[in-house]
Each structure stands twice: as C-alpha cells, then as structure tokens.
C-alpha cells in the first residue's frame, strides 16, 4: 500500500527534513507543495543541481502540487493565465529533475458569479490545462487535475465536471476526498476513471476544513481499499493520527 503526506503539514522545512521524516515514520510517498521560498519551482530550479541528489538516497515516491497561490488557469486575464501555464511547466521541469511520479494542479475559479463568466472561465481553464498537459506528455510526466469544494466559483466542484475536465484535457484525476465530501456524496469520485492518487482529510460536509480523519462526517468505511493516498493536513501530528486510523480501516477489509 502507498501512503504519504503533503508537506503542507511541515511547511518551510527542507527537502532532506521532509524525506527523513517520511522515511522515519514509515511513509512511502510524499507530496511536495510547490509554494514558498525554496519549493517554488522557479527558485528550486536555480539551486545547485546537486541538491536534488538527496532524493536518490530515499526509497520514496515523490509527487508535486503545482503552485496555486495567485494562480488561475481560468482567469479572464490573459497575463494571469500565461503565468499560470508558465509555473505549471516549471513544476513539470522540477518533476523531471527529482523523478516525481505525478503533479497535481487546480482547475481554477471565477470571481464574478455569473453563468456566462463561468462558461468563459471553463473554456480558458481547459485551454490552459490542455497546453500544460501536452508539455507534460512531451516530458514524460503525469499531470493530474484536482476536484474542488462544492462552490459555484470553483471548477471541478462535482464528479461530473471533474470527469469532463479530465476527458477534455486528456489528464489524470487527483481525487480530494475532503473536497468531494462537500458535495454530499463521495462515492462518484471513488469510481472515476484515470485516478492518479487521492488527497485525504475530513470535514463537516459543508466546507473544506482539513480535519483529521474521524473529526468530520466522512463515512470512513468508504475508504476501504483505496491506495496511493496523500494525507493533506496542516499539522504533522494529525497526519500521524489520520495515518493510523486509515491503516486500521484497511485491516478490516
């Protein structure tokens, strides 16, 4: 079984600290959040290439989460879309440098809540992500689009639209079960085609809270049998707590 955590829980630490922590605690995969002063791809790629050799010392599947702060592939502003595409491509370049398995990116959102604006944003998002995925395919890297919480402003806010994006962009799917829980039913997401891996957290079903497993209302029995799981929480002790709960669920299969 493959299980890991997002570096969100240990934000601002070094590559080596993340890898050592993951290895010491028995994880076999990890998702690096590409935000911040040394993991932002443009900065990371300016490092001495020798710094990336640390990844060769650990038997760890590495995943990346492309930058999302101030980024938006669906933006009506062409400059924002262009910079978003550039930073996704830089994340793909970083994945090649460190041998990452896959990259997750967001589908974007709109800031004016009108149907006509949403349709335009959807068109731009698919255009941007299709271009990004073509670049990824040329580099031999898997690019995966993540579902979002159930809010009108977000794209991929339900299983049907998530599947539509993966088909139109010819991408894999990252299924965030915490986000899925805000739709009232996570089951359709569990049976999507082309799932790359899962993000896991809990919530009250109304908003994305990044709670430990068991602190929200996700039906934990639905988690039986899933693999390639990244626990995405803000606190590392809660990651360990959720890891133990998740493994107990799998033992009941």
pLDDT at 48: 67
Q: What is the residue range of 237's domain?
A: 3-251
The pLDDT tens digits of the residues spanning 31-53 come to 999 998 889 999 998 876 777 88
| Beta carbons of 208 and 178 less than 8 angstroms apart | yes
Label residue 179 by pLDDT band (50, 70, 90): very high
CA quadruple 155, 160, 163, 169: dihedral positive or negative? Answer: negative
Alpha-carbon distances of 183 from 6, 80, 147, 208, 229, rounded to whole Å: 23, 29, 11, 11, 20
pLDDT at 50: 73
Residue 217 has pLDDT above 70, yes or no: yes
In the predicted model, what is the mean pLDDT of residues 176-194? Answer: 97
- With vertex at residue 26, the alpha carbon angle to CA 21 and CA 30, rounded to the nearest 5 degrees, is 60
In the predicted model, what is the mean pLDDT of residues 77-81? Answer: 98
The pLDDT tens digits of the residues spanning 115-137 come to 999 999 999 999 999 999 999 99
Average pLDDT, the chain: 96
pLDDT at 49: 72
In 3D, which of 188, 207, 190 has the Cα closest to residue 198? 190
pLDDT at 86: 98
CATH of the domain at 247: 3.20.20.150
The pLDDT tens digits of the residues spanning 141-174 come to 999 999 999 999 999 999 999 999 999 999 999 9
How many domains does the chain fold into? 1
**103: which residues sit within 8 A by CB, 6+ positions away?**
63, 64, 65, 66, 88, 91, 92, 95, 136, 141, 142, 143, 144
pLDDT at 252: 78
């Amino acid at each position: 079984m493959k299980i890991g955590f997002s570096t969100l829980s240990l934000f601002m630490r070094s590559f080596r600290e993340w890898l050592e922590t993951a290895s010491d605690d028995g994880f076999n995969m990890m998702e690096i959040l590409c935000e911040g002063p040394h993991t932002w791809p443009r900065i990371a790629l300016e490092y001495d290439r020798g710094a990336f050799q640390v990844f060769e010392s650990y038997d760890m599947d590495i995943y990346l989460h492309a930058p999302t702060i101030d980024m938006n592939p669906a933006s009506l502003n062409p400059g924002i879309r262009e910079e978003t595409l550039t930073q996704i491509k830089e994340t793909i370049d970083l994945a090649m440098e460190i041998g990452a398995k896959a990259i997750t990116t967001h589908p974007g959102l709109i800031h004016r809540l009108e149907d006509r604006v949403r349709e335009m944003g959807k068109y731009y998002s698919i255009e941007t992500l299709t271009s990004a995925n073509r670049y990824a395919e040329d580099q031999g890297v898997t690019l995966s689009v993540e579902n979002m919480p159930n809010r009108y402003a977000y794209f991929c806010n339900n299983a049907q639209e998530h599947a539509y994006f993966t088909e139109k962009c010819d991408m894999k799917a990252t299924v965030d079960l915490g986000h899925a829980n805000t739709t009232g039913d996570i089951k359709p997401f569990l049976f999507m085609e082309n799932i790359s891996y899962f993000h896991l957290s809990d919530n009250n079903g109304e908003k994305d809270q990044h709670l430990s497993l068991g602190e929200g209302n996700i039906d934990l029995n639905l988690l039986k049998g899933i693999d390639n799981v990244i626990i995405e929480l803000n606190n590392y002790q809660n990651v360990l707590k959720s890891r133990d709960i998740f493994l107990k669920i799998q033992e009941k299969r």
